Amino acid sequence: MVQQLDYQTIREIFTRFQAAEPEPKGELEHTNAYTLLVAVALSAQATDKGVNKATKELFKIADTPQKMLDLGEEGLIEHIKTIGLYRNKAKNVIKMSRILVEEYDGEVPSSRAALESLPGVGRKTANVVLNMWWHVPTQAVDTHIFRFGNRSGVAVGKDVVAVERAIEDNIPAEFQQHAHHWMILHGRYVCKARKPLCSTCLIRDLCMYEEKNLD
């Protein structure tokens, strides 16, 4: 495991990220808090592009919990059957929608605990919704962030919770709101799993990764 980077180095890394992309955005398409919640829940073990393709028509007819219940589980499956684990995900979305209607007046709750109590919603999903919809500086650690954080030394940890804590503890406050988006996008498109694009990386001189590919 690499050494956790110091404050000044991390500040410089995120200064560069901010200069390159001042307002990074999540790539899951949504129209409200509910469609965001459903999209993130569907994205587990699936690509954002695949989810967007599946939900393009779905969200035109089911953009509220009640409309999703009216569509029903089989109707939902018809829209999302191109996504991995679609049957289990459909079951969870319907259960989640019923709870939102019965216990939350059809509104998506805005606390992590309430979100995590919903079927199919884990800590990562809750953090994404809190960050993207309510602008809470939460950190949703996925495989891209976990890889990048540990490779670079930006956020070092043995598991996703430890990396989440490392981000919160080490990244300067003014970068916290967009931190997980900068890290996801960098991990997805530059700091790739098999062949990281080190030669064109804008933080290659600051990164702790020892096996840099500079060809």
Q: Which residues are catalytic?
A: 124, 142
How far lies 12's CA from each of 19, 68, 124, 210, in Å? 10, 45, 26, 19
**From its phi and psi, is residue 140 left (phi > 0), alpha (psi between -120 and 50) or beta?**
beta
CB 52 within 8 A of CB 84: no
CB 119 within 8 A of CB 100: no
CB 14 within 8 A of CB 175: yes
Task: State the burial class of residue 82 (Cβ atoms within 10 Å of its Cβ: 0-12, 13-18, 19+).
Answer: exposed
Q: Report the amino acid identity of residue 65.
A: P
